[in-house]
């Protein structure tokens, strides 16, 4: 899932002390982001949860909802080196990874030199990822999963931490390719970005059309972010929460005894969904100011973690059902 150094686990007292310090840092990040991004609390929260958990997030919404602005703001607030790639139908894998160029020295000897592409960043913004061809999208796959790339047989490690925050236009829009299921599964969360609330939109109009706009300040740096990510992996999760995660993820798979799932779901989430839930539930607890994840975290994260990891049957889609309806129903059953 992510790269973490093998550090000795902290004892309980040390974890509580470290978690309290992390709570303060995360609160400062939230406050700084809210100076620039108005409203959209759940979008900001879920995107930050993906980064705090050491993973990647996919932001889905129509153009013009400040998805790109959110990513650049996070880069500045978290103190990460950020690059942006605008995905287009003619984008090539080398435009992402980099390419080899021929050099000639004074004596006329020729050799190849690798020029790194924009993927060598701590925070990579992949803008409108579903406008590029599957071949180009697959160039991102290795880096998202393995944290290195291979060009001409040579391995190049990516910076640490490495996060991809991708934006995707809704598939109904012209000129979009659906992302392959294997690639969707690499995203810890899918974050749906909706139109802003009235009060937030009013604030956007007033704050962003004057001569100067508020600039976010850096609150963390890459080293501190990695410390918080390591801490999140050391936070204890109660058996009750682990059981709830397993029950929820398994209930979303056909053939596991859930009647509505058997009827409506063509294929369900794999073990990565449970891994994502284990990490994000801990991150969400910290984000909300708590030291341990609860069942509430599991229920709140069900939609962003499961929705891109399952598909409905043709019959269910014909009836006008959506994956979100199915997940909401599963959460309702889980709450009993």
Name the residue with tokens 């939230």: 30
Report the DSSP beta bridge partners of residue 166: 58, 126
Determine the pLDDT at residue 10: 62
Per-residue pLDDT, 286: 92
Per-residue pLDDT 10s for the chain (336 aa) are: 544 445 556 677 888 888 889 999 999 999 999 888 888 888 999 999 999 999 999 999 888 778 888 888 999 999 999 999 999 999 999 999 998 888 888 888 888 888 999 999 999 999 988 888 888 888 888 889 899 998 888 899 999 999 999 998 876 677 778 888 888 889 999 999 888 888 888 888 888 777 777 788 999 999 999 999 999 999 999 999 999 999 999 999 999 988 999 999 999 999 999 999 999 999 999 999 898 999 999 999 999 999 999 999 999 999 999 999 999 999 999 987
CA–CA distance from 122 to each of 125, 191, 226, 314 (Å)?
10, 20, 11, 40
In terms of Cα–Cα distance, which of 110, 10, 49, 61 is closest to 277? 49
- How far apart are alpha carbons 128 and 62 in whole angstroms? 10
pLDDT at 8: 56
Q: Which pTM value belongs to this model? A: 0.88
pLDDT of 7 reads: 53
Sign of CA dihedral 136, 138, 143, 148: negative
Bridge partners for 13 per DSSP? none
Report the alpha-carbon distance of residue 336 to residue 128 in Å, rounded: 39
């Amino acid at each position: 899932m992510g790269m973490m150094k093998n550090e000795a686990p902290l004892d309980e007292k040390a974890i509580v002390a470290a978690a309290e310090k992390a709570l303060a840092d995360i609160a400062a990040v939230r406050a700084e982001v809210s100076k620039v991004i108005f409203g959209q609390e759940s979008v900001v929260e879920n995107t930050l949860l993906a980064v705090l958990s050491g993973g990647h997030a996919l932001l889905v919404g129509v153009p013009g909802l400040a998805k790109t602005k959110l990513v650049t703001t996070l880069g500045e607030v978290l103190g990460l080196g950020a690059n942006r790639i605008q995905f287009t139908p003619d984008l090539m894998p080398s435009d992402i990874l980099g390419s080899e160029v021929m050099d000639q020295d004074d004596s006329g000897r020729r050799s190849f030199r690798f020029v790194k592409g924009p993927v060598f960043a701590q925070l990579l913004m992949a803008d409108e990822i579903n406008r590029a061809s599957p071949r180009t999208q697959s160039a991102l796959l290795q880096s998202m999963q393995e944290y290195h790339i291979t060009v001409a047989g040579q391995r190049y490690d990516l910076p640490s931490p490495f996060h991809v925050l991708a934006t995707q236009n809704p598939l109904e829009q012209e000129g979009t390719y659906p992302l392959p299921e294997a690639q969707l599964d690499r995203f810890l969360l899918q974050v749906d970005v909706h139109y802003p609330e009235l009060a937030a939109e009013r604030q956007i109009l007033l704050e962003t059309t004057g001569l100067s706009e508020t600039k976010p300040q850096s609150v963390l740096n890459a080293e501190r972010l990695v410390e918080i990510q390591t801490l999140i992996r050391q936070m204890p999760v109660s058996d009750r929460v682990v059981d709830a995660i397993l029950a929820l993820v398994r209930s979303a798979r056909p053939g596991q005894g859930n009647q509505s799932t058997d009827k409506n779901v063509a294929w369900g989430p794999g073990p990565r969904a449970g891994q994502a839930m284990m990490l994000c539930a801990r991150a969400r607890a910290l984000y909300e100011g708590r030291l341990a994840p609860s069942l509430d975290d599991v229920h709140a994260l069900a939609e962003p973690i499961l929705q891109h990891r399952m598909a409905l049957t043709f019959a269910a889609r014909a009836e006008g059902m959506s994956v979100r309806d199915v997940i909401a129903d599963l959460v309702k059953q889980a709450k009993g």
